[in-house]
Amino acid sequence: MIPHSQSAPPATTSRQSRSPVEVLAREATPATSTTTSTTPTTQPTPRRNSAREKLLASAATLFYAQGINAVGIDTIIAHAGVAKMSLYNNFENKNDLIAEVLKREDAVWFARFTSFIESHAAGSARILAVFDFLAQEFDSPTYRGCLFQLACAELPDAAHPGRKAVLSHKHRFRLTLQRLCREASLPHADRVADQLILLTDGAIAWRAMTGSPEPIRRAREVAEALVGK
């Protein structure tokens, strides 16, 4: 990170004839509704000094820096500085922890993303602000790609709760772009939204591989043409 939203193009019967975004949409089983609220769908966040929060924060840091499959439970516990039983008191197993980390990061990311987008004038400016937001993200010296793209590559099992959290995140992002395109009164808004997703995901992947900020600039130029700016 997808079900179809309103006014989506008619579905086809062949997987091969659908776009990559539409294929992803049909595989997702999102936990969110068809809104773009930034309110987390998981349990309320515990106190920031709680063992659960420490474990989630440590796991998020380690998963992003080293990879989900490379980081063991003992490493997470040591990094968090909590008792071993704290992990098993809060999570069923590592897979459950992975899913909860991704849900938490989804809420954190969308809160930041939404705040940035809504600081721009409604219309096409908000669509282009998506690329400006990503450009800011790319500036971080520790940036190594999208956590959700990285997680998807490491979690090939469609039944894994972490993969479902990834697809839920991508579904939520797709709905947001669809809404922005409709608010900008773009013809074929949902189709344009899918094209924008391919631009953003491609730019993120190239930034992770090359370390260059150039891909997001080029993607923004294409987006300008799509929205008529």
The 10s digit of each residue's pLDDT in 15-32 is 444 544 454 444 444 443
C-alpha closest to that of 124 among 175, 183, 172: 183
Round to whole Å and give the CA distance between 4 and 174.
10
Rounded distance between C-alpha atoms, residue 146 and residue 215, angstroms = 14
CB atoms within 10 A of CB 40: 17
Residue 152 has pLDDT above 70, yes or no: yes
Question: Which residue in this structure is represented by tokens 């004038």?
Answer: 121
What does the alpha-carbon distance between residue 163 and residue 179 come to, in Å, rounded to a whole number?
24
pLDDT at residue 117, as a whole number: 97
Q: How many CA atoms lie within 13 A of 152 on its CB side?
A: 18
Can you tell me the distance from the alpha carbon of 207 to that of 211, in angstroms, rounded to the nearest whole number?
5
Nearest to 133 by CA among 180, 165, 166, 101: 180
Q: Specify the pLDDT at position 213.
A: 87
What mean pLDDT do residues 40-48 have?
44
Q: What is the pLDDT of residue 228?
A: 86
Evaluate if pTM is beyond 0.85: no
pLDDT at residue 88 tops 80: yes
